[in-house]
Amino acid sequence: MQVGFIGLGTMGASFATNIQKAGYDLIVHDIARQAAQRHIDSGAKWADSPRALAEQCDIVLTSLPGPPEVRAVATDAETGLLAGMKPGSIFYDLSTNSPAVVREIHAKFAAKGVHMLDAPVSGGPKGAASGKLAIWVGGDEDVFNANRAPLDAMGDAVRYIGAIGAGSVAKLVHNSAGYAIQSAIGEIFAVGVKAGVGPLALFEAIRMGARGRTRTFDSLADHYMINSYDPADFALKLAHKDVSLAAEMARDVGVPARMIDLTRAEMTEALNRGWGHRDSRSFMLLQQERADILIDEDESAVEEVLNSDKK
């Protein structure tokens, strides 16, 4: 199997190295040839363009900055991958990309008989180097199952998510949630320090609280994923009281707390629905209503997901 890799930046360079370590013959390309030198020194071949690389490969992987770069590398009429890839060959895009762009590119590749899958990654530079990496794949499941080996050489948590674009959806949900959480922590942590608690003491305290001891997204399994908010583990009216006290503390010390105010407004709307006795997570139902969806998964299936990384 001849594997090609395009995009040898901070993340891509480590991906390509791990593919080489797994024993694959590698052909590489980057906008800056010097970025490929360590891979060439380790036996990789250089290609002068994405098209030249594609003409020689069964599987091509790209790790690029964003949608414009992926579109150019994939579909340029003269030098792009599509001009060189053979019917039946595989294209994995590892980039953080727009689901709409992914689907657009997929359609063009499918018309030529080439399988395109989106496979964005999560783990950062350390994970890219160590192989402690999640890879979320969208596209044809049979194609993925038959051609997943190069992905397994890069990451220890390679998972099929769904149809084309699904991997990109998962990546954007993950990253945006993470940054929103950071924003909220930054806001209320500043309030806590302004209220008189030292940063290190505050950090030491909150990391051992209920939220600090829980994997961020695992908490979705309780009530939210299974659409079960009664009886409550912790009542919404009590959670509303806590957030209201935090908002008052922020006002007392003169620190704006827009995200806390927004959270309290959401909780207040839920209280006005008569949900005060329901679990504190019940206010999350409001956004489901706005999106016109209902999340209601089988409890045993959710439990299986929680236990999957313990096997």
Phi, psi (deg, nearest 5) at residue 112: -100, 0
Structural fold of domain 2-163: Rossmann fold (3.40.50)
Which residues of the chain are in CATH 1.10.1040.10 domains?
171-310
Banded pLDDT at 64 (limits 50, 70, 90): very high
Q: What percent of the chain has pLDDT over 90?
A: 96
The pLDDT, as a whole number, for residue 245 is 97
Each residue's pLDDT tens digit, 148-204: 999 999 999 999 999 999 999 999 999 999 999 999 999 999 999 999 999 999 999
- In the chain, the percentage of residues whose pLDDT exceeds 70 is 99
Structure tokens at 60: 């091509």
pLDDT tens digits, 218-256: 999 999 999 999 999 999 999 999 999 999 999 999 999
Tell me what the pLDDT averaged over the chain comes to.
96
Alpha helices in 56-198 (DSSP H): 67-75, 81-84, 99-111, 124-130, 141-146, 149-154, 166-194
pLDDT score for 78: 95
CA–CA gap between residue 199 and residue 196 (Å, rounded): 9
Q: How far apart are CA 42 and CA 64, in angstroms?
A: 22
Contacting residues for 37 by C-beta, under 8 A, at least 6 apart: none
CATH architecture, domain defined by 171-310: Orthogonal Bundle (1.10)
Catalytic residues: 171
Q: pTM for the complete prediction?
A: 0.93
Identify the pLDDT of residue 1. 85
Torsions phi, psi for 137 (to 5 deg): -110, 135
Whether the per-residue pLDDT at 80 is higher than 90: the answer is yes
Q: For residue 311, name the pLDDT band (cuts at 50, 70, 90).
A: low
Q: What is the pLDDT of residues 27-47, one digit of tens each?
A: 999 999 999 999 999 999 999
Q: What is the mean pLDDT of residues 8-32?
A: 97
How far lies 37's CA from each of 30, 40, 53, 151, 193, in Å? 10, 5, 16, 22, 48
Tens of pLDDT, residue by residue over 120-147, are 999 999 999 999 999 999 999 999 999 9
